[in-house]
Structure 1
Amino acid sequence: MALGPPNITQTLLPPPTYHASLILTSAARPRRHRHHSRDAARLWDFHPPRPMSITFRQLEIFVAAAGDCNFRRTAERLGVSQPSISNQIRALEGHLGHNLFERRRGSPPTLSDEGRIFLEKAKELVLGRQEMEQQTRNTRGPRAIRLAVTATPLLLDAYIRPRLPTFCEQHPNIQLDFVPLHPTRGAAPMVLAGEVDLAVFTGDFVIDERLQSEVVNTVAVSIYCSPALARRGARPGVKLADLPWIMPPDEFRPTRFMWRILKEAGIEPRNIIARSQFPDVIANMCLEGHGIAVLFDHFAASGLEDGRIVKIGPQLPSTSLVLLIGPRAQRLAAQPAVELFRQATRRLASR
């Protein structure tokens, strides 16, 4: 059994055939000075230079770019320039002999049919190299595993972090790197791009054969406000949509969810007085009587008990807590981390 990494070129495609007219460009051909003989130039045509082999860096950039379908975003995430991303992709395409992306002026690049096929093999090679490097670095004791994970801030602070001391003591070979959940892209693109291996979020169930997805809990949400604001809303002629509201920024994915369930309930807020990307800030502003907010019932329970807030308006539908498990987290060694997230989110009160 071979212990070293596979030869990338041999693994990805059969040995290429070369033709001088396809390989040599005007920059690559030697200039025919007067002292060059025709025989020397003809000899160059029959012995073209061998193209450079595919590198793991090109594969890593391609996998990242395939997840983003936006070279500028990929460059920002990897900390390199956008021309560097484009050059690496074009070099890879030149070696393979076909385009991996469809490029149209004014539109973001999308994977071609060949690109989608090549992506699966590229992911296998990148993952295999990462696992080999990890195994090399950990030659003693149980095989260590490192996972990038993400969760919504409230879930992380209230339910996952309190369990971490016990988890770290029981599983010293598992290192969890917590990555902030991207507010506009959401969890699924982060897992598909390989940025995180495990994610839990509130929202719709994700159907993708590349991921394991499961609904681990159902959480109730309601409309809340101060008693004084509720009395104001009960006056004749006053509409709930015209009262002051506190919402997340429009570009955030949770905002899309809120707008959808409010619209289904017949409410379209027209008086948004404040926005915040932090759920605890929205909850505190609601508790202080500044406006109406959509809150998870389990986070609003204390304010409801002491009378600082009340429920108002129609009953809203519950939302799902979804667990996404990427390829690395699907391995047997990673199951304790998966179970940590699963059990922590199951503690939330469900309707």
Structure 2
Amino acid sequence: MALRFTLRQLEYFVAVGEEGSIAQASERVNVSSPSISAAISQLEDEFGLPLFVRKHAHGLSLTQAGRQFLDQARQVLAQAEALNRLAGDISGNVQGPLNIGCLVTFAQMILPALRRRFVADYPDVQVRQFELNQMGIIEALRRAEIDVALSYDLAIPPDLEFLPLRRLPPYAMVHEGHPLAGRGSVTVEELKDDPMILLDLPLSSDYFLEFFEASGRKPKIAERTRDMAVMRSLVANGFGYAIANIRPYSDLSPDGRKLCFIPLAGPVRQMELGLVLPRGARSVLTVNAFAEHARKMVTEWGYPGHPIDPGT
């Protein structure tokens, strides 16, 4: 007897399996929770196996059979996506799904504008975006959960490729009343005694701290946060300075207070903004189209202080 299930049902199953919650899976795939619950029930009926253990207070967890089915379902979805891309390559049309990752620190400043122009130029591509830290990007690329990512040249492993787009020098961020606010540049030595607000993300924090290690100094870390917006508000309210590379369009913090941006002088490594992707991925028509699109737009981007124009 042939099994009757759809790729859409498998997509919902994988989402629930990875999120551990129907509600979170619903947000991820943008489908109502009842629809996802129905799809899971239909799969369990079709296979004749329980795929999840329902825990009222703790969501769902995969059964032993569910874990095995999850691995196979991922492969089926990957093969289906490969077939769709093959059809596009043969026909010469840029089409099909494209999963784009982006470093969480600058996703809000770059990715939506890049997407807007890309989907306008290639309306047959279905784009999904994922905001991740650097380790999350590397893992998602290796698991084929994303096809390409915008990030920095931070600890790129040899099985992945990095395509540089532009250099971003580091800068210190201070509130407008800070004694250094009017300076044209500042050194790590001049910052060392002030409290620091550290953007504490995997690999990113190591990059910021290496400035101080090179000078034989240790920063006075007063606060740690994983959120760029929170970091900017803490700085604007006088809790310390911060170091970053990506410059926001506005010089105001999220709560409307003035920020000052001062180039960091001395022997400091600039960050390279670019694309991270599996080796050979540019042979895929859709991935290559996005890579060329990103190269063109980021090259034209008037950093700092000028936003990417997404067009109309």
TM-score by length of 2: 0.59
Instruction: After TM superposition, list the pairs within 5 Å mapping 1:83-94 onto structure 2.
Output: 84=64, 88=68
| Counterpart contact for 1:160–1:344, Cα < 8 Å | no
Instruction: After TM superposition, list the pairs within 5 Å mapping 1:1-351 onto structure 2.
Output: 76=18, 81=61, 84=64, 88=68, 127-132=78-83, 144-181=95-132, 183=133, 185-204=135-154, 206-209=156-159, 211-226=160-175, 228-230=177-179, 240-249=191-200, 252-272=202-222, 274-296=223-245, 298-299=247-248, 302=251, 308-309=259-260, 311=262, 314-315=265-266, 316-326=268-278, 330-346=283-299, 347=301, 349=303
Write the distance in 1 (CA, Å) between the matches of 2:167 and 2:263: 21
Q: 1:155 to 1:336 in 2, by over 3 A?
A: farther
| Counterpart contact for 1:200–1:324, Cα < 8 Å | yes
Q: 1:169 to 1:263 in 2, by over 3 A?
A: same
Letter in 2 for 1:291: G
Tell me the SS of whatever aligns to 2:120.
Answer: helix
Write the distance in 1 (CA, Å) between the matches of 2:249 and 2:269: 16
Q: 1:152 to 1:180 in 2, by over 3 A?
A: same
Unaligned runs of 5+ in 1: 1-59, 65-74, 93-122, 233-237
Fraction of identical pairs, as percent: 13
Write the distance in 2 (CA, Å) between the matches of 1:212 and 1:78: 31
**Deviations along 1:151-191, whole A, 9 cap, x unmatched?**
1245332233124333222201111110121x362422221
Letter in 2 for 1:243: D
| Counterpart contact for 1:147–1:328, Cα < 8 Å | no
Letter in 2 for 1:224: M
1:141 CA displacement: 11
Rg comparison, structure with higher value: 1
Q: 1:124 to 1:213 in 2, by over 3 A?
A: farther
Tell me the SS of whatever aligns to 1:320.
Answer: strand
Letter in 2 for 1:148: N
Letter in 2 for 1:320: E
Write the distance in 2 (CA, Å) between the matches of 1:129 and 1:227: 54
Tell me the SS of whatever aligns to 1:298.
Answer: coil
Letter in 2 for 1:321: L
Write the distance in 1 (CA, Å) between the matches of 2:303 and 2:94: 36
1:227 CA displacement: 5.5
Q: 1:246 to 1:171 in 2, by over 3 A?
A: same
TM-score by length of 1: 0.53
| The structure with more strand, counted as a fraction of residues | 2
1:85 CA displacement: 7.9
| Counterpart contact for 1:223–1:292, Cα < 8 Å | yes
1:220 CA displacement: 0.6
Unaligned runs of 5+ in 2: 1-9, 22-51, 53-60, 182-188, 305-312
Tell me the SS of whatever aligns to 2:247.
Answer: helix
Tell me the SS of whatever aligns to 1:180.
Answer: strand
1:132 CA displacement: 2.9
Tell me the SS of whatever aligns to 1:291.
Answer: coil
Write the distance in 2 (CA, Å) between the matches of 1:141 and 1:317: 41
Letter in 1 for 2:129: F
Write the distance in 1 (CA, Å) between the matches of 2:225 and 2:271: 20
Letter in 1 for 2:270: S
Q: 1:172 to 1:202 in 2, by over 3 A?
A: same
Q: 1:344 to 1:275 in 2, by over 3 A?
A: farther
Write the distance in 2 (CA, Å) between the matches of 1:342 and 1:333: 14
1:129 CA displacement: 4.3
Write the distance in 1 (CA, Å) between the matches of 2:123 and 2:264: 49
In structure 1, the residue matched to 2:47 is none
CA RMSD, aligned part only?
4.4
